[in-house]
Amino acid sequence: MTRVFQGNDPVEPYLLRDWLARNGVAVQLRGASLLGVVGGIPIPKSFPTLWVPEYQKLDAERLIAQFSGPALVHPEWECKQCGEINAPSFGSCWNCQAEAP
Ligand SMILES: [Zn+2]
């Protein structure tokens, strides 16, 4: 296994892990240990890192580059059929049920 990503916040590594997994990368998230919980808010000791098999390193790096580009800046997608803006989690348009691009 080889490390392809060091998180800068506690959330992004999880999003990225799901993104890589959806694209067929056997990704592992490590180092998600928490220092403790203060007032209901978990305090991360260190942010998680992502690891992939050596042979998938290039694929993973390419996907990470895509992910940290437009995917994070504009997570919503615009329906090609009716022009509605949809949340990134929607697989089809909430308005006209057209497939997400
Ligand atoms: Zn639509």
70 C-alpha vs ligand 1 centroid, how far in Å? 21
Rounded to the nearest angstrom, the distance between the alpha carbon of 65 and the centre of ligand 1 is 28
| 3-class secondary structure, 58 | helix
Domain-embedded: residue 101: no
Asked if residue 83 belongs to a domain, the reply is no
Q: State the pTM of this model.
A: 0.57
pLDDT along the chain (101 residues), means of 10: 85 89 94 66 73 96 79 72 87 92 81
Distance 90 CA to ligand 1 centre (A): 11
Whether 80 is covered by a domain: the verdict is no
The total number of structural domains that make up the chain: 1
CATH assignment of the domain containing 19: 3.30.70
* Containing structural domain, residue 43: 2-75
- Domain membership flag for residue 100: no
Q: State the DSSP string of 61-99.
A: HHHHHHIIIIIHH--SEE-TTT--EE-TT-SB-TTT-PB
